[in-house]
Chain A
Amino acid sequence: MKLKSLAVLALVFGSAMAHADKLSAPDHPKWKAECGSCHIAFPPQLLTKSDWQQVMGGLDKHFGTNAALDAKDAQEILDYLQRYAGTGSKYSAPSLKISDTPWFTREHREVSARAWSDPAVKSRSNCTACHVNAERGDWSERGIRMPAGLSGERDDD
């Protein structure tokens, strides 16, 4: 009996770790389709509930573009984003840009200015320029491929 509980605990911890590592949330076709056309569908964990609420409340002026959804779809997607949202100030930014959050800045501290302005990267919202399998939910270090000519722009330690 004791052994069984331990096994269950191990499973729970194991899956929690994998969860954090992969930035994964259950697939949500509407989120993927509606949030993944102009940029990839960004993981819900990367902003707080309150930030997602503000993002989804201003889709008609979404970082300079009209990305309006009908009310029902918008609510359904907001529910999903908030269910798996990040917690704490490191997943929040006044600009509502994931790339301005303390978490993003820290994770990308080794990326040079030259890499960010490379034509193959162009924008901090272009995750797949380096995280080549991000659309399939693979954000691992092993899955990172810097665009041609930028391989020396990142320390691998």
Chain B
Amino acid sequence: MIARNTCIALLLLAGAGQVLAETPAALTSGYAAEAAKSTPGFAPSAQRGQGFVSKDWGVSGKMASCTTCHGANLKADGKHVITGKSIAPLSPAVNPERFTSLAKAEKWFKRNCTEVVGRECTAAEKADFIQFVTRGG
């Protein structure tokens, strides 16, 4: 009985691990699914993501685009334009911690989109962004 309960508990834990797995691909598909609600057939695009990342939004005086702080090479360290602090690379290929927490991704999208884009980003933009950073960065 005890062994059976342990087995069930282990299975439940394993199941929870599956559901909670947060990877760049899982985050991208989550955002893509949300975007598809308003744009049927939406598919994330690394090309659109690239345009988004390098665009000069003309909103923030000091932080014109994503690359202002993250740099043009997403596999290299960036540098905060105001404080000079080094920023770890955005690319999960060299920085496996990136896009492994939805809460963290949401927090930074909210802050940085408000700052650089001048509004919160859409689910479609977030999906494209991660697609580009993961595949094309």
Task: Give chain A's interface residues, CB within 8 Å of chain B.
Answer: 37-40, 63-68, 120-123, 125-126, 128-129
User: Assuming A66-B114, A120-B84, A123-B84, what are 7 further A-B pairs, CB within 8 angstroms?
Assistant: A38-B85, A65-B115, A66-B115, A123-B82, A123-B83, A126-B85, A128-B85
Give the shortest distance, in Å, between B112 (CB) and chain A (any CB): 9
Q: Beyond A66-B114, A68-B111, is A38–B80 a contact (Cβ under 8 Å)?
A: yes
Task: Give chain B's interface residues, CB within 8 Å of chain A.
Answer: 62, 80, 82-85, 111, 114-115
Smallest CB gap from A68: residue in B: B111
Give the shortest distance, in Å, between B71 (CB) and chain A (any CB): 15
Give the shortest distance, in Å, between B50 (CB) and chain A (any CB): 24
Check if B84 sits within 8 Å of A129, measured CB to CB. Answer: yes
Q: From B85, B111, B114, give the contact of A40 (CB < 8 A).
A: B85
How many angstroms between the C-alpha atoms of A128 and B80 in the bound complex? 13
How many angstroms between the C-alpha atoms of A137 and B83 in the bound complex? 19
How many angstroms between the C-alpha atoms of A64 and B111 in the bound complex? 12
* Minimum-distance CB pairs A-B, first 4: A122-B84, A126-B84, A39-B83, A125-B83
How many angstroms between the C-alpha atoms of A65 and B83 in the bound complex? 11
How many angstroms between the C-alpha atoms of A37 and B107 in the bound complex? 12
Q: From B83, B111, B114, B115, give the contact of A122 (CB < 8 A).
A: B83
How many angstroms between the C-alpha atoms of A74 and B127 in the bound complex? 29
CB neighbours of B111 from chain A (8 A)? 66-68
How many angstroms between the C-alpha atoms of A125 and B115 in the bound complex? 20
Give the shortest distance, in Å, between A37 (CB) and chain B (any CB): 8
CB neighbours of A126 from chain B (8 A)? 83-85
CB neighbours of A38 from chain B (8 A)? 80, 82-83, 85
How many angstroms between the C-alpha atoms of A40 and B80 in the bound complex? 11
CB neighbours of A65 from chain B (8 A)? 82, 115
CB neighbours of B85 from chain A (8 A)? 37-40, 125-126, 128
How many angstroms between the C-alpha atoms of A125 and B83 in the bound complex? 6
How many angstroms between the C-alpha atoms of A123 and B82 in the bound complex? 7
Smallest CB gap from A120: residue in B: B84
Q: List 6 A-B contacts (CB under 8 A).
A: A37-B85, A38-B80, A65-B82, A68-B111, A123-B84, A125-B85
Smallest CB gap from A39: residue in B: B83
Check if B84 sits within 8 Å of A121, measured CB to CB. Answer: yes
How many angstroms between the C-alpha atoms of A66 and B60 in the bound complex? 12
CB neighbours of A120 from chain B (8 A)? 84
Smallest CB gap from A40: residue in B: B85
Smallest CB gap from B82: residue in A: A123
Give the shortest distance, in Å, between B130 (CB) and chain A (any CB): 19
How many angstroms between the C-alpha atoms of A123 and B81 in the bound complex? 10
**Chain A CB within 10 Å — which of B80, B82, B84 has the most?**
B84
